[in-house]
Amino acid sequence: MLFGVVLDWLIGDPSWLPHPIVGMGKTISFLNKKLNRGKHRKAKGFLLLFLVLALTGIIVFTLQWICYKINIFLYIIFNLYLIVTSLAAKTLATEVEKVMNALKGGDIEVSRIQVGYLVGRDTTELKEKEIIRATVETTAENTIDGVLAPLFYLLLGALLPVPWLNPVMLVMLYKATNTLDSMVGYIQEPYKDFGYASAKFDDIINFIPARMGSFFMLIAGMFLGYPFKDGCRIFKRDRLNHKSPNSAHPESVVAGLLGIQLGGTNQYFGEILKKPTIGEAKTPLETLDIRETITIMYGSEVVVMIISIIAAVLIFSF
């Protein structure tokens, strides 16, 4: 895990390196075209979830077994590769910085395009403050989905007494579910019924990581010098201000620590969706808030790794 985190910080996801999430995305896209039509779309959505998880598990287990049979070091390198691809801190920071840099350069059109790669909402007519809000929200949410939840499932896999359900297998199944949710887990058509199973399963497996991860984000905020009491207050008050049972948890932490207001009305697939606000607008949204959210993301990852290392040392000492 430690090597994986460090490598993610250093290299992220090089474009020349095959990425399993890309393979998952292509598989989901193919199955979406084949299954998301006609009647019984909710049932077909459950079939989609089963097929993607089953394929992911079979492929990962087979490749692990082959690598292990060839050479133990090949097995270790393969697992390390999958750990690095499961973590998205470097990639997330790089992508949101593109939005930030476009805003700093005064290019609103480029910033709309860049944030459009990161969020599901319609970004073609977003104003500067709305672009900042969208970027901060997706960075906060992906601090859980792309960084802390993968670490959680790696740790859980290390504790489970089931050899085939090892840390890397568990985190790849998590990433498959997360990818499903990001591609079909919408309440708008044509995904309302078809994406139901994927969205609900993603809610279930993110339930604990969203809450534990938000706690670690608060701890990171305290050490980084942000107002910890405000972060706790807004988190306690607004953590359920979202239709998703998990998304508002990290967003409320960031809103409280930075003294900004998130949430509100967005447009998805031509449909206006009104959401409650999160946080208090003590200060207006600024481009710097994007950088501050990235800092909180990295800080929370460091907190989790420090706690994990201390726990590992204590366990192996006894």
Own/partner contacts of 38-44, CB < 8 Å, gap of 24 or more, are 41/193, 41/194, 42/193, 42/194, 42/196, 42/197, 44/194
123-150: pLDDT as tens digits: 888 899 999 999 999 999 999 999 999 9
What are the C-alpha distances in Å from 52 to residues 48, 91, 121, 313?
A: 6, 24, 25, 37
The answer on pLDDT for 166 being more than 80 is yes
Residues whose CB falls within 8 Å of the CB of residue 201, separated by 6 or more in sequence, listed in order: 49, 177, 180, 181
Type of residue found at 240: L
H or E segment at 135?
helix 128-143
Distances 274 to 15, 69, 106, 261, 267 between C-alpha atoms, Å: 37, 54, 28, 15, 9
- Whole-number mean pLDDT of the chain? 93
pLDDT, tens digit, 9 for 90 and up, residues 72-104: 999 999 999 999 999 999 999 999 999 999 999
Whether the CA torsion 207, 213, 219, 224 is positive or negative: it is negative
pTM of the model: 0.93
Q: Evaluate if residue 301 carries a pLDDT over 70.
A: yes
Asked if residues 143 and 213 have their Cβ atoms less than 8 Å apart, the reply is yes
